[in-house]
Structure 1
Amino acid sequence: MGQSGWSQILGIATLLYLLCSGFAASFSTDHPLLQQHKDRVGRLPGQTFNISFAHYSGYITVNEKSERTLFYWFIEALEDPLSKPLVLWLNGGPGCSSIAFGQSEEIGPFHIKSDANTLFLNPYSWNRVANILFLDTPVGVGFSYSNNESDLLNNGDKRTAEDNLVFLLKWFKRFPQYKGSDFFISGESYAGHYVPQLSQVIVKYNSDTKENAINLKGFMVGNALTDDFHDQLGMFEFMWSSGLISDQTYKLLNLLCDFQSVEHPSDSCEKIWEIAYNEIGNIDPYSLYTPPCNANVSQLSQLVRRKHRIGRLRGDYDPCTEYHSIEYFNRPEVQTILHVDPDHKPATWETCSELVNTNWKDSPRSVLNIYHELIHMGLRIWVFSGNTDTVIPVTSTRYSINALKLPTVSPWRAWYDDGVVGGWTQEYAGLTFVAVRGAGHEVPLHKPKLALTLFKAFLAGTSMPNLELVSAS
């Protein structure tokens, strides 16, 4: 019998054990453990390979009044999941799906081939070392929904963090076997807001409760929107120093967009951004040295509106993976196996919601204050950056980190993977920074092996490998 079969037997045995250990009196047909069993996902359409792990997908309502309901996909670790940490992955936008990007082209095991019908197993999936929980947040993103349409027009950072906390508390009730697991949060791009904000509300919740505390150990973000001033300063500098824009445009960007909100810039700032993207030309700004996807002729105009959204790209090397996801997740048989509610499914599933993005209500210009607060709480905090991303480039991240004015614990150095430089790193008091060589905005997409090495070091709380350690192994 394969490990998948044993996992199913273990799940049933656990359910029976809990029922016989005092749960029977309160048991009902809507008991969370029964719902967990119902959320178990069978063989996916286009899955031509066997797997040794269980995975689940479904909904959790975070607001009963308006029925704000978030969609999740939980993928257990490859081996011995109950001994492994639990990691929540969030994509950004705001308005982009963690199912579309994080699971389907970055850190998840199920990636989609160019025929948009067939899946292949990602050999560098992060579920090799952890249990991964993907969440489409907020409502209006992916398969997440609300019965109150005005909810989709009133999303923002504050409510997203609050809803995500409610989601986690209810999810742990549905999956009580993971309640005591070491819990980490990770994400990229606009999740540079989501991740520290959620960490902050969890810390506050934990301080107010003793019985249902979440075992939060730390967080890690990549190419993350962090501080509008420093992020934009770094963007303009990276584009100019890389030879992408003219001297005049560089000066005007600094003049007209200085101290502007990234999510709600002025008209004059928007106009100079359009000039900048015209000068940059038909490249993928999320990955400077890889070919763009030419499947959509309106791509260039979209890039201006979506310059802080998650990118595309993959493997060896298909720049159009986003379009494969769109086709795959709009298939009725795919939605059925993932337990998508036919009464609440979107008319057309989208990787990113323009409605959510353009109606975003609150977006603080900096989350550096949250970093200061959480560093003092002793959380493990890592920040990584692909160094070929022009959207939130390595210069932006370094400016933001420098603004924290943290003492250096271990100076700047190269780190190695199989004896080759994988990037560079510096360790500060309370924060570790890692640059990933040759990666774009979606580090695990462009450099999946390096990303897994990074993830393993983060979970272990160890320094990035150096040449001597690799040579000795």
Structure 2
Amino acid sequence: MKVVACTWMLLSMCLLGHCLLVYGEDNEAQVLDDFLNSRLSEKPSPVIRFSARFDVNTDSIQPQDGSMETDKISALPGQPDGVDFNHYSGYVTVDSEAGRALFYYFAESPENSSTNPLVLWFNGGPACSSLVGAMAELGPFRVNSDGKTLFRNNYAWNNVANVIFVESPAGVGFSYSNTTSDYQSMGDKSTAKDAYTFIINWLERFPQYKTRDLYVAGETYGGHYVPQVAKIILHKNKKSNQTLINLKGIAVGNGVIDDRTALLGRYDYFWTHALNSDETNKGIHTYCHYFDDRDPEQCANFIIKSSTERGHIDEYNIYTPRCQLNSSSSIKISSDSTNFDPCSNHYMLSYLNRAAVQTALHAKASAWEICNRSILSGWTDTAVTSLPIIKNLMSNGIRILLYSGDLDSTCPVTSTRYAINKLKLHIKSAWRPWSTDKEVGGYVVEYDGLTFVTVRGAGRLVPSYQPARALTMISSFLEGALPPPFLIQNNS
């Protein structure tokens, strides 16, 4: 990725005692915020195309060190009693010559694991770990505030699917390469290629899943990752004239699907939710012409002004309190997956950096981090839009779910709606509320080939903020149905 120096330098300035690039440790929101803002005054990149020289060979099975038996986890340190499912973790080599391997955590369903579909999950960033999904969102466990013990997530997605969390690309989390130059040449293409190679080789390790329905899902920059790996799967199935991977659908939450609409939707969300002034909103629309390179310096100035006006809020969820771990006012919520603790990242960092935990996970000892910014300096390619890929997937019968927590400001619901509108789809089922536990869970509209769902009261990490609603949503999608309609109760 080419970064405009002027914009990047301005974004790196310290304001009000805080550097824009550092509010504690990195997380997806901060990394993605910087990544997208750096592109506001860039010229557009071409849509990612997978050329013949980049093709993934159908015989690309790599020599592996691991096996299903050795990857099985006997117990995680501090896990609660009564764990009634099998879980596995380890490495899948995606390039034996380079020594590049991706780390995964796999949780089978407690019931119906032999028939439930597979879900392959990617967190975004780019360059952020999918163990965030496993340990703070949709995985079977959450980390308690002691950073040493776990509690059960009653709304985990492995209740309805067998879920694989893969840390991608190499250099993220426990994933690695023995070829250091790999870290200077990451990008959308290489990430998609490695993800495809991962799942092909993972299925060799778990052959009982080879014919199972597969859904690829993810959030934020997963709006790039998910459609791109799905495109390769579809291409390789056609090229080999057989179903190598039984892809059925994709799901993207609060995703970066189209950079133009992502940026437009973000700043419109700031303004419509009273986070920016009229003057700043006008300045953004005047000078930040979304890759037209009209006035990058003025654009960068208004980006900084926008950030100053918003203050130090949690942009994952604009109404949630920020973590104040060292303050007596810090909110401490644990052992209850229905409430989201804003300090969860700290607990997860502590837990995953414990030597006993890394041993139990079969991970190579390393300092685990949520995101790895260093590999972004060499991010060699990124597409302006995933919409053509999504359109192609739809035309080939792949089911599409786009969903948005409506309190996220960095990849907001407005951005997703603007992106969908560019597809000019025919509405199949009109906009309506849907329900969980007799409450409005959000809103849904079904188009030909694509379903859009909002999750009411959820931030960026939808399963973290609204776990019950997220489980209802994904369960319905996997069943090929829309979320259940909201019915007004007659108490008379």
The TM-score normalised by the length of structure 2 is 0.82
Q: Distance in 2 between matches of 1:90 and 1:149?
A: 23
Aligned-partner residue type, residue 343 of structure 2: C
**Residue matched to 2:219:** 188
- Answering whether residue 134 of structure 2 is matched by residue 103 of structure 1, we say yes
**Residue matched to 2:177:** 146
Cα shift readout 1:366-416 (whole Å, capped 9, x = no counterpart) = 111111111100111010001111001111100000100000001111111
1:286 to 313, 316, 319: 316
- State the identity as a percent: 44
Cα shift readout 1:245-303 (whole Å, capped 9, x = no counterpart) = 11121122223332239xxx956544432221111012101101110123499xxxxxx
Q: Quote the offset at 1:324 in angstroms.
A: 1.0
**Residue matched to 2:6:** none
Q: Quote the offset at 1:31 in angstroms.
A: 9.7
Structure 1 residue ranges (4+ consecutive) displaced by more than 6 angstroms after TM superposition: 30-34
Q: Distance in 2 between matches of 1:41 and 1:251?
A: 55
Q: Distance in 1 between matches of 2:71 and 2:297?
A: 46
2:456 to 431, 437, 455: 437
Q: Distance in 2 between matches of 1:152 and 1:165?
A: 19
**Residue matched to 1:309:** none
Aligned-partner residue type, residue 95 of structure 2: N
User: Secondary structure of 2:183's match?
Assistant: helix
User: Residues 34 and 146 (structure 1 numbering): CA distance in 2 closer, same or farther, change over 3 Å?
Assistant: closer
* Map 1:248-267 → 2, pairs under 5 A: 248-260=279-291
Aligned-partner residue type, residue 82 of structure 1: S
Q: Quote the offset at 1:97 in angstroms.
A: 0.4
- Unaligned runs of 5+ residues in structure 1 are 1-29, 298-312
**Residue matched to 1:9:** none
Cα shift readout 1:307-337 (whole Å, capped 9, x = no counterpart) = xxxxxx9742310111111111111110001
- Answering whether residue 83 of structure 2 is matched by residue 54 of structure 1, we say no
Q: Distance in 1 between matches of 2:75 and 2:128?
A: 25
Q: Distance in 2 between matches of 1:269 and 1:68?
A: 39
Kindly indicate whether the alpha-carbon contact (under 8 Å) linking 1:138 and 1:160 is maintained by their aligned counterparts in 2.
yes
Aligned length: 420
User: Secondary structure of 1:467's match?
Assistant: coil
- Unaligned runs of 5+ residues in structure 2 are 1-61, 328-335
**Residue matched to 1:22:** none
**Residue matched to 1:205:** 236
- Answering whether residue 339 of structure 2 is matched by residue 320 of structure 1, we say no
Kindly indicate whether the alpha-carbon contact (under 8 Å) linking 1:228 and 1:260 is maintained by their aligned counterparts in 2.
no
CA RMSD of aligned residues (A): 2.3
Q: Distance in 2 between matches of 1:93 and 1:129?
A: 26
Q: Quote the offset at 1:37 in angstroms.
A: 0.1
Q: Quote the offset at 1:468 in angstroms.
A: 4.2
User: Residues 353 and 314 (structure 1 numbering): CA distance in 2 closer, same or farther, change over 3 Å?
Assistant: farther
Larger helix percent: 1
1:405 to 409, 419, 424: 424
1:362 to 357, 368, 381: 381
Q: Quote the offset at 1:68 in angstroms.
A: 1.1
**Residue matched to 1:11:** none
Q: Distance in 2 between matches of 1:227 and 1:255?
A: 20
- Answering whether residue 455 of structure 2 is matched by residue 424 of structure 1, we say no
Cα shift readout 1:219-246 (whole Å, capped 9, x = no counterpart) = 0100000111111111111100111011
User: Residues 223 and 89 (structure 1 numbering): CA distance in 2 closer, same or farther, change over 3 Å?
Assistant: same
**Residue matched to 2:475:** 456
User: Secondary structure of 1:461's match?
Assistant: coil
Q: Distance in 1 between matches of 2:243 and 2:344?
A: 40
User: Residues 82 and 168 (structure 1 numbering): CA distance in 2 closer, same or farther, change over 3 Å?
Assistant: same
Aligned-partner residue type, residue 412 of structure 2: P
Q: Distance in 2 between matches of 1:212 and 1:104?
A: 32
- Name which of structure 1's ranges 149-158 and 205-214 shifts more when overlaid on structure 2: 205-214
Kindly indicate whether the alpha-carbon contact (under 8 Å) linking 2:441 and 2:455 is maintained by their aligned counterparts in 1.
yes
User: Secondary structure of 2:163's match?
Assistant: strand
**Residue matched to 1:308:** none
Kindly indicate whether the alpha-carbon contact (under 8 Å) linking 2:85 and 2:110 is maintained by their aligned counterparts in 1.
yes
